[in-house]
């Protein structure tokens, strides 16, 4: 589900960039819900590689 902030504050982004932002926002939300404090960089890199190809 798209994050509302990503839609309202970034209307001119490409679909790929928008998808990366939405997935990173969801990842961070999930991590906060689980109180998981592990490094997030590898997860963000994985998302970028999946979207960009």
Structure tokens at 46: 């994985």
What's the confidence (pLDDT) of residue 38?
76
What's the confidence (pLDDT) of residue 16?
93
Tally Cβ neighbours within 10 Å of residue 40. Answer: 13
**Residues in the chain with pLDDT < 70?**
1-10
What's the confidence (pLDDT) of residue 33?
86
Tally Cβ neighbours within 10 Å of residue 9. Answer: 10
What's the confidence (pLDDT) of residue 27?
93
0.85 exceeded by the pTM? Answer: no
List Cβ neighbours of 26 (8 Å cut-off, separation of 6 or more): 3
């Amino acid at each position: 589900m798209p994050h509302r902030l990503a839609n309202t504050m970034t209307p001119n982004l490409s679909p790929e960039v928008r998808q990366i932002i939405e997935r990173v926002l969801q990842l961070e939300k999930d991590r906060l819900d689980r109180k998981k404090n592990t490094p997030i960089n590898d997860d963000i890199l994985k998302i970028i590689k999946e979207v960009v190809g």
